[in-house]
Structure 1
Amino acid sequence: MPLRVDAERMRADFEALSSFGATPDGGVARTTFSEPHLAVRAWFLERGRESGLETHVDSAANHSVVLPASEPGARTLMLGSHLDSVRRGGRYDGALGVLCALEVVRTVQDCGLGLPVALEAVDFTDEEGTLIGLLGSWAMAGILTKEILAAPRGGRDVLVSELDRMGLTEDGLIAARRAPETLAGYLELHIEQGPVLERAEVDIGVVTGIIGSASFSVVFSGEARHAGTTPMDARRDAALGAAAFVLGVRETVVTGFPGCVATVGNIETEPGSFNVVPGRASLRLECRSLDHDEQDALEDALTARARAEAERHGLEVTVERLGRWEPAPTDVAIQEAFERAAAALGLTSMRMPSGAGHDAQALAAITPAGMVFVPSEGGVSHDPSEHTRWEDCVNGANVLLNAAVELARASV
């Protein structure tokens, strides 16, 4: 018979967890190192201690609750996600994964299972990118570098200030790296954040890989001229080139890169007046693929499209890459363990890629990693209305539990 978590205990803990940083619209606001974030992390460790489990915080401020192995010196199977949120987030994103990881560890302890590996439930630091994005898991995987720290997403001054406030150092972040030989794997449960499972009426998503992405600054330059006295055929309108490029981005992806996505998320024109032809238009572009070579080809195609639109409209254009995350395939043995666990519980499952980045993306660089998704109602996430049925939450926790026990036993 498959093992099952204590659903009532988990539900009570979920409600308690959701109270930290709760907003009137039903969401949460727990940005990294905010007071609600610090409070919920303390709560997480206390729940572990109350269960008689070990706890620790590493030099990147990753918080862990640990059930030691039956033998000293054994490797560690990690499970986890993140407790930080976006500024107006939902209650499930990240937090459900941490809670399910904690519940798996407690259930294994309650059952008295002597596993040959340690189980570690981890709350990673700054997954959502208030400071850097995947800060804690990058640090643990040894991916975090001085170059990344020199140009963080949230701004260098903010990073330095927050590290100082928290008693952390850049050398400490880098020193948080875990040796790959000490790890048996990493498992992460997460809400899907999309509509695929709900539309397919499938209980469990088994993630085949986490999509890679690249972000760019694209700037079209023309000439700012009087809007009333400059004929339409005499203009070098930067906004026109930018608009054509935005439409071209969609056409390029739809016709040449099915399965990929690209988004223009911000457009600014200068001087920004209704009576002046824009002399400059800057935009932010992101594109994503599950395949490394396809990601390269997509970036090249979009860059070529920007140059073609600039030439067609008599403009100059600069394209600057701001960052890139490599695609991360998940471990096949872990995928199969998730599928067996779901089948044993009478749940349906399907394989699918993750279109969003997760901590598993970083951990996959140093240890076998896998993810399991539970449905998101309406595909909504990063919003206070984000919701997953409690039955689906429990189903996911039980799949995570049984897969973790199987993989732990097979790891020797």
Structure 2
Amino acid sequence: MTLRLDRERLVATMEEQAEYGATEDGGLHRLALTKADREIRDWFVDQLKEAGLSVRVDEFGNIFGRREGINPDAAPILLGSHLDSQPNGGIYDGALGVVAALEFIRTLNDKGIETTRPVEVVNWTNEEGSRFQPAMQGSGVWAGVHDIDTERAKTDDDGVALGEALHEIGYSGDVPAKPMTDYEEYLELHVEQGPLLAEAGADVGVVTGIVGFTWGAATFHGEADHSGPTPMHHRSDALVAAADLIAAVRRIPGTLGERTVGTVGYVDASPNSINVIPGEVTVTWGFRDPSDAVVERAYRRVLAEAEHAAEREGVDVEIEERMRAPAVLFPDRTVDAIRRAAKACDCQHLELLSGAGHDATHVASVCNTGMVFAVSEGGKSHSPEEFTSWDDCYEAATVLANTALEIADGTQ
């Protein structure tokens, strides 16, 4: 049996969730643990309850809804993604995976289908890592990759601790932030955030794994001084050193591999005045590659480049690696199940690695894990220009649902 979802309801639910944190240009500004995040969490809990699910919230704010199976002792399957967004991001990133999981539950209810295994739907806390770092924080705590007390003590740019923000929005739950049972499978639907599916003319992506990556920051400490009277040879310009590192991050990937990418996405200069030599500058780096060994080489290179840049300019530098995630290969049995679902749904699929990190990275250390990608038109994401057609949303959600049904029925 091929399960067909209610397309109109899927679209309506996507449009409804996009109202929380909506921006004037059609995007989404729904940072983790802000007022907008509280509102979408309240909405999500209401949707879970309306679908007849029992709801629990763990100590890190991860929200779970559970539909019991015929065999309540069987290991459940878990579906979901995240509802927080990047600053001025798009309406599909993360949210499509949560809505598709919810729609799967609704469709089971509509058709009176009882699954052998229990099915759970999850919204992970702070996948994006914009307000608090690192990214994929909630799933990382749940999977035991991060220490919960350490992560709850992390602060945003205004000095607000994550634990305080959780309490403020009412989502510091009382359930331990860890797997409460063995899980059979975790499935996550996400927009591709790249151009490969669209370029190949594929309907969906069958994800075979996720690249590894390193995130970090370098802070250069120079001397702030007047930009007019200070001779060039008397300057210790933190921004010049930072600029050297930025250029190095751009060059490093070309020396390591065809799949290596490197990015500086954040710069903070102080005092940030046109008439003052910058005294302190922080820049971030990020490197990604399918090979953990290549990621390590990129990390070592950026450390050396930062030290050299500081030495050339006569400034000091502090270096911090804020996150490291290993590359993940999804198990053959899960990839095979997604392939079968794509074929059953008459969807042309492309097999590919994810170039972005997802909560599935951490959950893969807990249970079998797989991902379905929806087409991203133009490959754009983390921007109001992010776009996935409703047809592509529906096709990917249908593949996810049929994969989940096969596994939840215990045929795997």
TM-score normalised by the chain length of structure 1: 0.87
* Offset of residue 389 of structure 1: 0.6
The answer to whether the 8 Å contact 1:4/1:398 transfers is: yes
Change (3 A) 1:153 1:312: same
Matches within 5 A, 1:342-353: 342-353=342-353
Choose the corresponding residue for 1:159, options 148, 159, 162: 162
Moved more, 332-341 or 38-47: 38-47
Q: Secondary structure at the match of 1:183?
A: coil
**Alpha-carbon distance in 1 for matches of 2:192, 2:163:** 33
Q: Which amino acid aligns with 1:176?
A: A
Matches within 5 A, 1:232-243: 237-243=237-243
Q: Secondary structure at the match of 1:393?
A: helix
Runs of 5+ unmatched residues, structure 1:
none
Question: For 1:51-96, what per-residue CA distance to the aligned partner results, in whole angstroms no more than 9, with x for missing partners?
Answer: 4x22212223333333211122121101111222234232211111
| Residue 123 (structure 1) aligned with residue 123 (structure 2) | yes
1:58 aligns with 57
**Alpha-carbon distance in 2 for matches of 1:233, 1:39:** 55
2:210 aligns with 210
Change (3 A) 1:44 1:237: closer
Change (3 A) 1:109 1:227: closer
Change (3 A) 1:48 1:321: closer
Question: For 1:90-139, what per-residue CA distance to the aligned partner results, in whole angstroms no more than 9, with x for missing partners?
Answer: 22111111111011122233333332211112222232333454343234
Choose the corresponding residue for 1:141, options 132, 140, 143: 143
Matches within 5 A, 1:11-410: 11-51=11-51, 53-60=52-59, 61-129=61-129, 130-132=131-133, 133-145=135-147, 146-152=149-155, 157-167=160-170, 172=174, 175-179=176-180, 182-221=182-221, 237-269=237-269, 272=272, 278=278, 280-313=280-313, 315-410=315-410
The answer to whether the 8 Å contact 2:54/2:67 transfers is: no
Question: For 1:190-227, what per-residue CA distance to the aligned partner results, in whole angstroms no more than 9, with x for missing partners?
Answer: 11122221122221112222233322222345566775
The answer to whether the 8 Å contact 1:198/1:375 transfers is: yes
Q: Secondary structure at the match of 1:182?
A: coil
Moved more, 16-25 or 272-281: 272-281
TM-score normalised by the chain length of structure 2: 0.87
Q: Secondary structure at the match of 1:358?
A: coil
Q: Secondary structure at the match of 1:199?
A: helix
Change (3 A) 1:289 1:149: farther
**Alpha-carbon distance in 2 for matches of 1:336, 1:287:** 30
Change (3 A) 1:110 1:138: same
Moved more, 194-203 or 364-373: 194-203
The answer to whether the 8 Å contact 1:66/1:105 transfers is: no
**Alpha-carbon distance in 1 for matches of 2:155, 2:274:** 35
Change (3 A) 1:156 1:137: farther
Runs of 5+ unmatched residues, structure 2:
none
**Alpha-carbon distance in 1 for matches of 2:255, 2:285:** 18
Question: For 1:129-182, what per-residue CA distance to the aligned partner results, in whole angstroms no more than 9, with x for missing partners?
Answer: 334543432343233412233334566634243233245559x47x22114x52
**Alpha-carbon distance in 1 for matches of 2:29, 2:313:** 44
Moved more, 29-38 or 95-104: 29-38
Moved more, 292-301 or 213-222: 213-222
Q: Secondary structure at the match of 2:107?
A: helix
Change (3 A) 1:152 1:369: farther
Change (3 A) 1:117 1:241: same
Moved more, 72-81 or 140-149: 140-149
**How many percent identity over aligned positions?**
37
Change (3 A) 1:317 1:344: same
Q: Which amino acid aligns with 2:374?
A: V
Change (3 A) 1:238 1:88: closer
1:4 aligns with 4
Moved more, 349-358 or 189-198: 349-358
Root-mean-square deviation (Å): 2.9
* Offset of residue 350 of structure 1: 1.6
Q: Which amino acid aligns with 2:55?
A: H
* Offset of residue 241 of structure 1: 3.3
**Alpha-carbon distance in 1 for matches of 2:164, 2:225:** 43
Question: For 1:257-305, what per-residue CA distance to the aligned partner results, in whole angstroms no more than 9, with x for missing partners?
Answer: 3312111223345565556655654322222233322221110122122
Question: For 1:351-386, what per-residue CA distance to the aligned partner results, in whole angstroms no more than 9, with x for missing partners?
Answer: 222222222122112111111111112222222232
The answer to whether the 8 Å contact 1:88/1:382 transfers is: yes
Q: Which amino acid aligns with 2:58?
A: S
Question: For 1:23-63, what per-residue CA distance to the aligned partner results, in whole angstroms no more than 9, with x for missing partners?
Answer: 33222333334444333333333334434x22212223333
* Offset of residue 235 of structure 1: 5.7
Change (3 A) 1:87 1:317: closer
* Offset of residue 323 of structure 1: 3.0
Q: Which amino acid aligns with 1:28?
A: L
**Alpha-carbon distance in 2 for matches of 1:66, 1:355:** 31
Q: Which amino acid aligns with 2:213?
A: S
The answer to whether the 8 Å contact 1:55/1:63 transfers is: no
The answer to whether the 8 Å contact 2:222/2:314 transfers is: yes
Q: Aligned residues, how many? A: 408
Change (3 A) 1:198 1:328: same
Question: For 1:289-341, what per-residue CA distance to the aligned partner results, in whole angstroms no more than 9, with x for missing partners?
Answer: 33322221110122122233444555554422233333333233212211221
The answer to whether the 8 Å contact 1:45/1:55 transfers is: no
Change (3 A) 1:303 1:182: same
Q: Secondary structure at the match of 1:24?
A: coil
